[in-house]
A = this chain, B = another copy of it.
Amino acid sequence: MTDENQNGPSRRAFLTGAGAVAAGTLAGKASAQDDPAIAIKPWMQELGDGVDVSPYGMPSPYEEDVKRRTVEWLTADPVSSINFTPIHALDGTITPNGICFERHHSGVAKVDPAEHRLMINGLVDRELVFTMEDLMRFPRENHVYFLECAANSGMEWRGSQLNGVQFTHGMIHNVQYTGIPLRLLLEEAGVQAEGKWLLAEGADAAGMSRSIPMEKALDDCLVAFKMNGEALRPEQGYPVRLVVPGWEGNMWVKWLRRLEVGDQPWHHREETSKYTDLLDDGTARRFTWEMDAKSVVTSPSPQAPITHGPGPTVLTGLAWSGRGTIPRVDVTIDGGITWHEARMSGPSTPKALHRFYYDFEWDGSPLLVQSRAHDSTGYVQPTKDQLREMRGLNSIYHNNGIQTWAVDADGKAENVEIS
């Protein structure tokens, strides 16, 4: 299940296999400084801009390709719009705020925080209305969580369709939230004994709303106002959103304006005609909130081909589970004949993205690349065919099946299915 390659290429392997200009190239020259590969560049001869030009900085112009992207047929109308995180171009585990995927049901609400209010009503001892300043007086916590849209990978139920991990798996992001435990606000209002459900409602024109069981609301939900240290971005619910760790992204209500306590779920659109899973027999799975363990190789992938020849190669990807941590990811490069335990690097906290690597010697032959996550409950990521066998072909949501990329001898990668 493991192999020696996972500890990285040996020094000898790198020198014989890869493209670095080594001793030989420099031989016979007075010093390495004479080599044209390391000649003095223009930017070493001119004074750059000072710090006064960038009160809020942006990426290098050379990185302009690292951006959120839409799929035209999915995003024709702001009433139902999606774009995708460029996970093929990222590394580590944190998603930068500017490129966290977006999914809106009536576009981005432009909320003035001074005018915004959060109300708690329904089966409570005291109905309450909070200004943002009121909320800032409650104790806060900091937690990193992934947010995955239930429809992430949904277009792949009936076979491989989208040629890029940004599109197949990019409805996910992972940021550090600062927020108030929802429990504290509910305690402030005083939840009555028959209060078993919570309706969370947004201040967008869709009035996006979802029913949440009280047990989850009192467990680890946050009323969050910061992401990665700064205020929530407008498209992520500025000035305040609900964080529902490990559960489908649609429940993380943005521009949060109201929390109503009730004795049963509300059966709104987003939990009946949408965000339910239609099975072959005509019934629907519903309240499928928890995101199952999942992983995907982000590089190589169709948008991130191997651009060098045989020799030391880094394969990397992301893994996550709505139920806990990811202690282990397996990787195959031969379509599942042999599996290798990947090397994890970075934080391992519950309900957050994990980063894995497989450092191997590529022999230059075509590859069939897959990854398989194991979560801390013992659950193992299934194949797409296993999911289809249980749920039929009607589903859109909750596709956590194993993804395959076919890499050809030139390093180009394609979205394929193998059985």
Instruction: List the B side residues contacting A83 at CB < 8 Å.
Output: 51-52, 54-55
**Cross-chain contact of A98 among B35, B58, B127, B142 (Cβ < 8 A):** B58
Instruction: List the B side residues contacting A233 at CB < 8 Å.
Output: 57-60
> Closest residue of chain B to A175, judged by CB?
B94
Instruction: List the B side residues contacting A378 at CB < 8 Å.
Output: none
**Cross-chain contact of A48 among B78, B125, B346 (Cβ < 8 A):** B78
Identical chains bound together, number: 2
Decide if A282 is an interface residue (CB 8 Å cutoff).
Answer: no
> Closest residue of chain B to A87, judged by CB?
B229
Complex Cα spacing A89 to B100, Å: 21
Decide if A99 is an interface residue (CB 8 Å cutoff).
Answer: yes
> A56–B68 contact, CB under 8 A?
yes
Instruction: List the B side residues contacting A351 at CB < 8 Å.
Output: none
**Cross-chain contact of A111 among B41, B140, B190, B239 (Cβ < 8 A):** B41
> A51–B355 contact, CB under 8 A?
no
Decide if A409 is an interface residue (CB 8 Å cutoff).
Answer: no
Known: A205-B46, A230-B59. A19 touches B176 (CB 8 A): no
**Cross-chain contact of A231 among B8, B59, B140 (Cβ < 8 A):** B59
Instruction: List the B side residues contacting A18 at CB < 8 Å.
Output: 134, 137
**Cross-chain contact of A355 among B139, B142, B239 (Cβ < 8 A):** B142
> A112–B62 contact, CB under 8 A?
yes
Q: Which of A92-120 contact B (CB under 8 A)?
A: 92-100, 102-104, 106-113, 115-117, 119
Fill in one digit per residue for A226-238: 1 if any B CB lies within 8 Å of its CB, else 0: 1011110111001
Complex Cα spacing A55 to B99, Å: 7
Q: How far in angstroms is the closest Cβ of chain B from A178?
A: 4
Known: A55-B67, A56-B68, A314-B138. A133 touches B307 (CB 8 A): yes
> B345–A92 contact, CB under 8 A?
no
Q: Which of A183-201 contact B (CB under 8 A)?
A: 184, 187-188, 190
Instruction: List the B side residues contacting A226 at CB < 8 Å.
Output: 90-92
> A79–B235 contact, CB under 8 A?
no
Decide if A327 is an interface residue (CB 8 Å cutoff).
Answer: no
Decide if A393 is an interface residue (CB 8 Å cutoff).
Answer: no
Instruction: List the B side residues contacting A307 at CB < 8 Å.
Output: 133
Q: Would you list the 3 A-B pairs with minimal beta carbon distance, nearest first?
A: A48-B107, A50-B78, A142-B346
Query: What would be 19 A-B contacts, judged by CB atoms less than 8 Å apart?
Result: A14-B188, A15-B126, A19-B131, A20-B188, A21-B129, A22-B126, A47-B79, A51-B68, A51-B75, A51-B78, A57-B97, A59-B97, A59-B233, A62-B239, A96-B229, A136-B314, A140-B345, A347-B347, A347-B349
Where the two chains meet, the residues of A that have a C-beta atom closer than 8 Å to any C-beta of B are: 7-9, 11, 14-15, 18-23, 25-26, 31-32, 35, 37-38, 41, 43-52, 54-60, 62-63, 66-70, 75, 77-79, 81-83, 89-100, 102-104, 106-113, 115-117, 119, 121, 125-131, 133-134, 136-144, 175-178, 184, 187-188, 190, 203-205, 207, 226, 228-231, 233-235, 238-239, 255, 257-258, 307-308, 311-314, 316, 343, 345-347, 349, 355, 357, 359
